[in-house]
Amino acid sequence: MHEKTIQKIKERLDSLKKLPGIGTKSISNVLEENGFTRRDFLKWSGSMAAMLGLSSSFAPVIAQAAEVSDRLPVIWLHLAECTGCSESLIRTDTPTIDNLIFNFINLQYHDTLMAAAGWQAEENYEEALEKFAGKFILCVEGGVPTKDNGSFLTMGPQAKTGMQKLKETADKAAAIISVGTCSAFGGIQAAAPNPIGAKGVDKVIDKPVINVPGCPPSAKNIVGTILHVILFGTLPAVDNFNRPKFAYGLRIHDLCERRGHFDAGEFVEEFGDDGAENGFCLYKQGCKGPYTFNNCSRERFNQHTSWPVQAGHGCIGCSEPDFWDSMAPYEEPLADHKFASASVDATADKIGATILTVAGVAIAAHAALSAIKNPKE
Ligand code: FSX
Ligand code: SF4
Ligand code: F3S
């Protein structure tokens, strides 16, 4: 079964190999220049196979897919956002293998990274659109302002609206990836009262879109999604919010290193207390890990170095729809808001319907009980 799939992938990669690459260097050269050995690369492809939910026998083809990742053209649009998604991938003085592979992909057009500006940039864009029609991956960063026909965001010398540019590009794309919570769900600019009518990409175009949320999303999840498209020529399996299941299939809480403390009723009662020093659970400091689907607790960031909860702050739910409204205030437990007040507003109602499931109620009860168990309370 695996052999058949691997054989199919090899054939696909062979046909990609025939296409012209963009760089003069191979990915092996690039990695070597940055101090990574072949062994590191193979270790990386093994861990990428595990992350994509594939057996270790896929590791060699994943390494080969990374090697040909400069063949598949990518057009990258920036809409309403902070550019943090791209910045987090490119502005690093110690790039990880994921960063280097991101830099290696065949970026035909990227508003922030390209040297061209004005009319020249527009020409490059139109040329790429024609040349690679039906073949390129469209990555979108940023939410889509839709109010007043999208006029809150205009781009380039012809002052096209972001919405218009997105639609004409998506029309010719082979696959569309929303990179970051802004393009997936509207992002911070869609926070109430959302004066510009910001929306996620999939609410504006009617083609399949894969959402890779996070503010910003991890390099691993972006590169993993792109590699999946290169390997299989299809989008990966997704959840209800169109997020790849390989990355967003479990909650932060499920694999959190502080989970044992949660189960034992050991909580940080105040930032800086003994519990914080002992690495206790951050639920009472507002951690939204129990309501957030992402792989940060498993994959971490910066070559597996750390992640928000390890650094001492709760997860703020940055990969969930509407997190800026539904998860706030970030340093207070979500359940307190559900149960605390009589003035339940529309947003809180929505939380009740979408997030606070039976598990949420159980978690609130558990934290409350720990007040009895924990002598510090
Ligand atoms: Fe949004 Fe990305 Fe947050 Fe920023 O562009 S997901 S605001 S990190 O940069 O889109
Ligand atoms: Fe970890 Fe947060 Fe869950 Fe506590 S509530 S175990 S800190 S994810
Ligand atoms: Fe975001 Fe929570 Fe991960 S805040 S980065 S989803 S730990």
- Please tell me the number of the ligand nearest to residue 299's CA: 3
Instruction: State the average pLDDT over residues 38-54.
Output: 94
Model pLDDT, residue 370: 59
pLDDT greater at residue 288 or residue 25: 288
Asked if residue 77 has its Cβ within 6 Å of ligand 3, the reply is no
What integer best gives the mean pLDDT of the chain?
88
Among 21-35, 179-193, 350-364, the least confident range: 350-364
Atom number, ligand 1, closest to the C-alpha of residue 88: 8
CB contact burial 235-246 (16+ within 10 A = b; e otherwise): bbebeebbbbeb
- Say what the pLDDT of residue 108 is: 84
> In the prediction, which pLDDT does 276 show?
98
Q: What is the mean pLDDT of residues 155-169?
A: 95
329 preceded by cis ω (within 30°)?
Answer: yes
Quick one: DSSP state of residue 289?
A: G
Residue 354 has pLDDT above 90, yes or no: no
Identify the band that residue 369 occupies on the pLDDT scale cut at 50, 70 and 90: low
> How does DSSP assign 187-212, residue by residue?
-GGGSTT-TT-EE-GGGT--S--EEE
Q: pLDDT tens digits, residue range 256-287?
A: 999 999 999 999 999 999 999 999 999 999 99
Q: What is the pLDDT of residue 59?
A: 95
Closest residue by Cα to atom 1, ligand 3, is: 318
Distance 124 CA to ligand 3 centre (A): 36
Task: Work out the percent of the chain whose per-residue pLDDT is above 90.
Answer: 68
CB atoms within 10 A of CB 228: 25
Pick from 216, 245, 212: which is nearest to 52 by CA?
245
Which structural domains are found in the chain, ordered by start? Answer: 2-247 (3.40.50.700), 249-373 (4.10.480.10)
pLDDT in tens, 125-156: 999 999 999 999 999 999 999 999 999 999 98
Q: Which ligand is nearest to the CA of 319?
A: 3
Query: Using CA positions, which residue lies closest to atom 7 of ligand 3?
Result: 315
The reported pLDDT for the residue numbered 92 is 62
Query: In the prediction, which pLDDT does 116 show?
Result: 82
Q: Is residue 345 predicted with pLDDT exceeding 50?
A: no
105 has pLDDT over 60: yes
Atom of ligand 2 nearest to the CA of 287: 2
How many angstroms does the Cα of residue 253 sit away from the middle of ligand 2?
5
**Distance, CA of 101 to CA of 103 (rounded, Å):** 5
Distance CA 110, CA 95 (A): 19
- The answer, yes or no, to whether residue 295 has pLDDT greater than 90, is yes
Cβ of residue 318 lying under 6 Å from some atom of ligand 3: yes
When pLDDT is averaged across residues 318-334 and rounded to a whole number, the result is: 94
Q: In this predicted structure, what is the pLDDT of residue 88?
A: 75
Identify the band that residue 333 occupies on the pLDDT scale cut at 50, 70 and 90. very high
Phi and psi at residue 33, to the nearest 5° = -60, -25
Residue with the bigger pLDDT between 303 and 245: it is: 245
CA nearest ligand 1 atom 3, residue: 215
- pLDDT, mean of residues 57-86: 92
Q: State residue 23's pLDDT score.
A: 66
Whole-structure pTM value:
0.88
Q: Using CA atoms, how far apart are residues 349 and 132, in angstroms rounded to an integer?
A: 46
CA of 293 to the centre of ligand 2 (A): 12
pLDDT in tens, 237-250: 999 999 999 999 99
- The Cα–Cα gap between 209 and 242 comes to 7
Give the pLDDT confidence score for residue 364 in this predicted structure: 64
Evaluate if residue 1 carries a pLDDT over 80: no
Question: Rounded to the nearest 10 degrees, what angle do helices 97-104 and 219-232 cross at?
Answer: 50
Smallest-distance ligand from the CA of 279: 2
CA 18 to chain centre: 30
Which one-letter amino acid corresponds to residue 116? Answer: A
Tokens at 343, concatenated? 């003035």
The per-residue pLDDT for 348 is 36
What is the pLDDT confidence band of residue 356, given thresholds at 50, 70 and 90?
very low
User: Which of the four pLDDT bands, split at 50, 70 and 90, describes residue 367?
Assistant: low
Please check whether residue 228 is in contact with residue 53, taking contact to mean a CB–CB distance below 8 angstroms: no
Which of 14-23, 88-97, 337-346 comes out lowest in average pLDDT?
337-346
- Which sign does the torsion angle of CA 89, 99, 179, 251 carry? negative
